[in-house]
Amino acid sequence: MKPLTLETANYIITYFSELMTLQEKAALKHQHSLIKLEGDENERRTKLYYKQGWLSNNVEVLELLSAGPDEFLIKCAERILKEHPDKVYRNLCPKCNQLARTPYAKQCRYCGHDWH
């Protein structure tokens, strides 16, 4: 199997997130919260994020993100594909074989082919 692209990993994480483990979901929430806090020096807001569970101190969760957010998404998507190949539907354009925007899309964003 060839390595996943970031686009494919985002597609899998977005549309098949129910197949993520609890730790992977916590890592994704942590990463999204870090993006929201970027450039914000407000300690109270950071403490609130930890209190609400949006940021994590869990070593296993932080380890998932240690190689960076893109690598985390790709590894997570690869694990999902490996463990649940029958539950992940990659909607590919029948003409150019590119990944459609959603699992239900019927028009290619790359070549414009319509398969309604």
- Taking only the tens place, the pLDDT of each residue in 75-92 is 999 999 999 999 999 999
Confidence (pLDDT) at 2: 74
Residue 59 and residue 64: Cα distance in Å, rounded? 9
71 shares its domain with 101 = no
Residue 20 and residue 35: Cα distance in Å, rounded? 20
What phi and psi, each to the nearest 5 degrees, are found at residue 8?
-65, -40
- Taking only the tens place, the pLDDT of each residue in 66-76 is 999 999 999 99
Q: Give the model's confidence band at 1: pLDDT under 50 very low, under 70 low, under 90 confident, else very high.
A: low
51 shares its domain with 13 = yes
30 shares its domain with 46 = yes
1 is a domain residue: no
72 shares its domain with 97 = no
79 shares its domain with 96 = no
73 shares its domain with 109 = no
Confidence (pLDDT) at 12: 97
48 is a domain residue: yes
Burial environment of residue 82 by CB neighbours within 10 A (0 to 12, 13 to 18, 19 or more): exposed
34 shares its domain with 70 = yes
- Taking only the tens place, the pLDDT of each residue in 15-53 is 999 999 999 999 999 999 999 988 877 788 889 999 999
16 is a domain residue: yes
Number of domains in the chain: 2
107 shares its domain with 51 = no
99 three-state secondary structure = strand
**Domain range for residue 102?**
91-116
Confidence (pLDDT) at 80: 97
Q: Give the model's confidence band at 101: pLDDT under 50 very low, under 70 low, under 90 confident, else very high.
A: very high
Confidence (pLDDT) at 42: 77
